[in-house]
């Protein structure tokens, strides 16, 4: 009999005084007293439920405030000790050399070309001798992952060793990045990643000739590229575009980007939606803009441009929004003396390319799924891009003729 049955019997038992009926409040109080009593007993003889909650492990620890210097130091020190312990768990150079020696010693002939091979039985033997740090690598899952078409059921020793090296390197990098996680929350803020890359520059041979005055530009460019592609969200000639040398770009200065054929309507949208300062764009915002335009096949880039094209903020492009942007292309064509192109024809081509689920609306996902997002966005925002698309067949034919001329003796 559990506490629920006992509770029901006690509540159903007759009153000691049959002439007196208990009030509704008395019945509720008695019910609560009995519930508390039997629930506590059911949980192991505790006198009240508060004792039960005390046994729940603590799972939330607040971050120290700025003025709690001692707590902050303690947190930093404990994180450093934790990361040092994790680093010691990784294979060092001597242990990696020992692993290679054991693998080579247990290879099973014949070799495939110059590749030494090992079967599963010897694979497990090496795992037993290699030490506890290597245990995670010597599993059936890892062996099966590297097993391909060998008729003897063996894997390449070199491929396995490279797998181990890559895992060790990734964990080393993870620990190295964690040292820059100032808040200790498991992620890097933009400033954290900037510090990491800035301290990494002197170790990169490719950047030996980079002047220190350009370090900040390199760091900013690298960080913005990381954040652009890792958060669904090179630099062009930023300094050349900045004609007044104030470190910012106006709409007029940005209009000279690339072939200088982006429409003013699209540039207006850029300055409406993107972060600006007194109507001018800073270097970080410029980098996002450039990354989006130079990587238009990528979902992150299409998301950036789609937000600019979605002038009504409806989550889709309709005939109105397409016409809104293409009218600016038509106006530029007139200015440059080109024959106008019917919007109706362009609109039909866009919908044919994208094939959206809704025949009247193009969503961001439709654009991504079509693999035509780069073409569609180019048609709508850049006269040079539209002209290239419109004359693609003639350009291909011309390239073929030029190739033939080169080949002729």
19 and 81 housed in the same domain: no
16 and 122 housed in the same domain: no
257 and 336 housed in the same domain: yes
Give the total number of structural domains in the chain: 3
Q: How far apart are CA 393 and CA 178, in angstroms?
A: 52
Within a domain: residue 349?
Answer: yes
CATH number at residue 129: 1.10.238
Q: How far apart are CA 110 and CA 150, in angstroms?
A: 11
Within a domain: residue 340?
Answer: yes
Within a domain: residue 14?
Answer: yes
Structure tokens at 37: 């009593």
Within a domain: residue 273?
Answer: yes
- Beta-strand (E) ranges in 319-397? 362-363
267 and 356 housed in the same domain: yes
The dihedral formed by the CA atoms of 295, 285, 272 and 270, expressed in degrees to the nearest 10? -30
Mean pLDDT of 187-194: 84
379 and 320 housed in the same domain: yes
CATH number at residue 360: 1.10.238.10
Other CB atoms closer than 10 Å to residue 239's CB: what's the count? 12
Domain residues for the domain of 305 are 232-394
262 and 382 housed in the same domain: yes
Within a domain: residue 238?
Answer: yes
Residue with tokens 């599963």: 120
128 and 26 housed in the same domain: no
pLDDT one-digit tens code per residue, 243-268: 888 889 999 999 998 888 899 999 99
85 and 27 housed in the same domain: no
Written in H, E and C, the secondary structure of 198-240 is HHHHHHCHHHCCCCHHHHHHHHHHHHHHHHHHHCCCCCCCHHH
With 0.95 as the threshold, say if the pTM is over it.
Answer: no
- Write the CA distances from 183 to 116, 219, 223, 224, 245, integer angstroms: 47, 21, 18, 20, 36
pLDDT one-digit tens code per residue, 63-111: 888 888 888 888 888 888 888 999 999 999 999 999 999 999 999 999 9
Within a domain: residue 206?
Answer: no
For residue 407, pLDDT over 70 is answered with no
């Amino acid at each position: 009999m559990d506490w629920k049955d006992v509770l029901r019997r006690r509540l159903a038992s007759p009153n000691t005084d049959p002439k007196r009926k208990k009030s509704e409040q008395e019945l509720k109080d008695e019910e609560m007293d009995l519930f508390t009593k039997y629930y506590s007993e059911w949980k192991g003889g505790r006198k009240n439920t508060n004792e039960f909650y005390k046994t729940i492990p603590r799972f939330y620890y607040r971050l120290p405030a700025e003025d709690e210097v001692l707590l902050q130091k303690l947190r930093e020190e404990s994180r450093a000790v934790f990361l040092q312990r994790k680093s010691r768990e990784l294979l060092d150079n001597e242990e990696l050399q020992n692993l290679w020696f054991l693998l080579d010693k247990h290879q099973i002939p014949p070799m495939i070309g110059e590749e030494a091979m090992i079967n599963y039985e010897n694979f497990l033997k090496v795992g037993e001798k290699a030490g506890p740090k290597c245990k995670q690598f010597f599993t059936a899952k890892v062996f099966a992952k590297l097993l391909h078409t060998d008729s003897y059921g063996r894997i390449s020793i070199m491929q396995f060793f490279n797998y181990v090296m890559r895992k060790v390197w990734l964990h080393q990098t993870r620990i190295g990045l964690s040292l820059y996680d100032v808040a200790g929350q498991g992620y890097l803020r933009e400033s954290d990643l900037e510090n990491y890359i800035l301290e990494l520059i002197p170790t990169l041979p490719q950047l030996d000739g980079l002047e220190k005055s350009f370090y900040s530009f390199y760091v900013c460019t690298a960080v913005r590229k990381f954040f652009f592609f890792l958060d669904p969200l090179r630099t062009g000639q930023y300094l050349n575009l900045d004609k007044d040398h104030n470190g910012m770009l106006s709409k007029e200065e940005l209009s000279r980007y690339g072939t200088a054929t982006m429409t003013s309507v699209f540039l207006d949208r850029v300055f409406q939606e993107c972060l600006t300062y007194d109507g001018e764009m800073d270097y970080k915002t410029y980098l996002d803009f450039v990354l989006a335009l130079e990587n238009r096949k990528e979902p992150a880039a299409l998301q950036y441009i789609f937000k600019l094209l979605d002038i009504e903020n409806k989550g889709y492009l309709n005939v109105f929004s397409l016409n809104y942007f293409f009218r600016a292309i038509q106006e530029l064509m007139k200015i440059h003396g080109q024959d106008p192109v019917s919007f109706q024809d362009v609109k039909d081509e866009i919908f044919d390319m994208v094939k959206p689920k809704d025949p009247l609306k193009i969503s961001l996902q439709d654009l991504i799924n079509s693999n035509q997002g780069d073409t569609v966005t180019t048609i709508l925002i850049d006269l040079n891009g539209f002209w290239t698309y419109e004359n693609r067949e003639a350009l291909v034919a011309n390239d073929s003729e030029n190739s033939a001329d080169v080949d002729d003796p």
